[in-house]
A and B are shown apart, each in its own frame.
Chain A
Amino acid sequence: MGFLTPLLLGGIALIAIPVVLHLVMRQQPRELTFPALRFVKQRRDSNRRKMKLRHWLLLALRCLLIAGLAIALARPTFKGTGLHGKDGAPLAVNLVIDNSLRMEYVQANESRLEKAKKTALELVEKLPEDATVAVCDLGRAAHGYAPDLSAATSRLQNLRPTAEARPLVDGVLESIKLAAEQEDRRQEVFVFTDLSQGAWNDEGLKEINNALSAAPDVRIYIVDVGVADPKNSSLGELQVRRSVLRPGEPLHLEAEIRSNLQSESPLVELSLRNEEGKLQKRSEAIAAFDPQGQGRVVFEIPNLPLGTHQGSVNLAATDPLIVDNTRYFTVEVRPPAKVLLLATQPADALFVEKALGASLGDASRFDVTVKTFADLEKAKLEEFSAVALLDPGPLPAEAWNSLWDFAAGGGGVGIFLGHHAAGELESFNSEPAQRLLPGKLKRVSRAETYLRPRRLDHPALAGLRNYAEELPWQICRVFQYWTFDKSNDSDTYVIAGYANDKPAFIERPAGKGRVLVSTTPFSDPLEPEGREPWNTLPAQPWPFVALVDQLIGYLAQDGDERLDYLAGEVARVQLSPQQQVASYVLHLPDGQAGSRVATSGDDELAVSITDELGNYRLTAGGQSQRLDRGFSVNASGTISDLTRFDPEKLTGALPKDRVRLAENLEAVEQYVDVGRSGRELFPWMIGLVAVIWGAEHLLANRFYREEKGKD
Chain B
Amino acid sequence: MAAVEKYLKPEVIRQISRLDLRAQFIVKGFMQGLHASPFHGFSVEFSEHRKYSHGDNPQDIDWLVYAKTDKYYVKKFEAETNITGYLAMDLSGSMAYRYQNELSKFEYSTCLAAALCYLMVHQQDPVGLVTFGEKIIDVLPPKSKRQQIGNVLSHLARLKPRAKTDIATSLIQLAAMLRHSSLVMIFSDLLVDPEPVLAAMRRLKHGGHEVIVFHVLDQAEVDFPFDGLVELRDPETQERIEVDADGFRKDYLKAIGEFRETYKRECAKSRIDYLPLHTGMPFDKALMEYLLSRRNMG
A interface list, Cβ under 8 A from B: 27, 29-44, 46-48, 50-51, 54, 702-707
Contact = CB atoms under 8 A, between A and B. Distances in A.
B55 to A, nearest CB: 53
Interface string B221-232: 100001111111
Interface string B205-231: 000000000000110110000111111
B243 A44 contact: yes
B232 A40 contact: yes
A699 B60 CA distance: 73
Given A47-B247, A704-B228, A40 B191 contact: no
Given A29-B242, A50-B244, A51-B247, A39 B252 contact: yes
Contact of B229 (A27, A35, A43, A46): A27
A4 to B, nearest CB: 43
A29 B239 CA distance: 15
A34 B232 CA distance: 6
Task: Tell me which of B217, B229, B233, B237 has the highest count of chain A C-beta atoms within 10 A of its own C-beta.
Answer: B229
Nearest to B233: A33
A41 B252 contact: no
B243 A706 contact: no
B251 interface: yes
Contacts of B217: 36
A36 B252 CA distance: 10
B243 A31 contact: no
A34 B247 contact: no
Contacts of B221: 34-36
Is the contact region of chain A dominated by helix, strand, or loop, or is it mixed? helix
Contacts of B94: 35-36
Contacts, number: 99
Contact of B241 (A35, A41, A46): A41
A43 B232 contact: no
B284 interface: no
B230 A30 contact: yes
A705 B227 contact: yes
Nearest to B258: A39
B248 interface: yes
B255 interface: yes
A40 B240 CA distance: 10
Contacts of A39: 252, 255-256, 259
A38 B191 contact: yes
A30 B228 contact: yes
B97 interface: yes
Contacts of B242: 29, 48, 51
Contacts of A47: 243-244, 247-248, 251
B56 interface: no
A32 B256 contact: no
A468 to B, nearest CB: 105
A707 B234 contact: no
Nearest to B217: A36
B167 to A, nearest CB: 14
Interface residues of B, number: 35
Contacts of A27: 229
Contacts of B233: 31-34, 37
B229 A29 contact: yes
B230 A36 contact: no
Contacts of B45: none
B189 interface: yes
A272 B163 CA distance: 127
B195 interface: no
Contacts of B229: 27, 29-30, 51, 703, 706
Ranked nearest first, the 7 interchain pairs of A and B with the lowest CB-CB distance are A706-B228, A35-B94, A39-B255, A43-B251, A34-B232, A37-B234, A29-B231
B33 to A, nearest CB: 32
Nearest to B221: A36
Contact of B228 (A34, A38, A46, A707): A707
B252 to A, nearest CB: 6
Interface in B132-167: none
A704 B227 CA distance: 10
B244 to A, nearest CB: 5
B295 to A, nearest CB: 33
B252 A33 contact: no
Nearest to A38: B191
25 contacts: A30-B230, A31-B240, A33-B233, A33-B234, A34-B234, A35-B218, A35-B235, A36-B94, A37-B232, A37-B233, A39-B259, A40-B241, A42-B255, A44-B243, A47-B243, A47-B247, A50-B244, A50-B247, A51-B242, A54-B244, A705-B227, A705-B228, A706-B227, A706-B228, A707-B228
B236 interface: yes
Given A34-B233, A35-B97, A39-B255, A702 B191 contact: no
B288 to A, nearest CB: 26
Contacts of A35: 93-94, 97, 189, 191, 218, 221, 234-236
B80 interface: no
A491 B231 CA distance: 124
B293 to A, nearest CB: 27
B78 interface: no
B226 A32 contact: yes
Contacts of B227: 705-706
A683 to B, nearest CB: 35
Contacts of B261: none
A703 B229 CA distance: 7
Given A29-B231, A41-B241, A42-B255, A36 B191 contact: yes
A50 B249 CA distance: 13
B138 to A, nearest CB: 23
Nearest to A46: B251
A38 to B, nearest CB: 6
Contacts of B244: 47, 50-51, 54
Nearest to A31: B231
A38 B93 CA distance: 15
Contacts of A48: 242-243
Nearest to B226: A32
Task: Tell me which of A34, A37, A44, A46 has the highest count of chain B C-beta atoms within 10 A of its own C-beta.
Answer: A34
B104 to A, nearest CB: 10
Contacts of B289: none
A182 B277 CA distance: 92
Interface in B238-276: 239-244, 246-248, 251-252, 255-256, 259
B298 to A, nearest CB: 37
Nearest to B246: A702
Contacts of A37: 232-234, 237, 239, 241
A33 B241 CA distance: 10
Given A38-B191, A39-B252, A42-B255, A32 B247 contact: no
A41 B251 CA distance: 11
Nearest to A50: B247
Contacts of A703: 228-229
A43 B231 contact: no
Task: Tell me which of B218, B221, B242 has the highest count of chain A C-beta atoms within 10 A of its own C-beta.
Answer: B242
Contacts of A706: 227-229
B246 A32 contact: no
Contacts of A42: 255
A51 B245 CA distance: 10
A40 to B, nearest CB: 5
Contact of B232 (A32, A46, A704, A707): A32
A331 B220 CA distance: 114
Given A33-B235, A51-B243, 10 more contacts: A30-B229, A33-B97, A35-B93, A35-B235, A36-B221, A40-B241, A46-B251, A54-B244, A702-B228, A703-B229
Contact of B256 (A36, A41, A704): A36
Nearest to B218: A35
Interface in B82-128: 93-94, 97
Given A33-B97, A35-B94, A44 B231 contact: no
Nearest to B239: A37
B280 to A, nearest CB: 15
A30 B231 CA distance: 6
Nearest to B97: A35
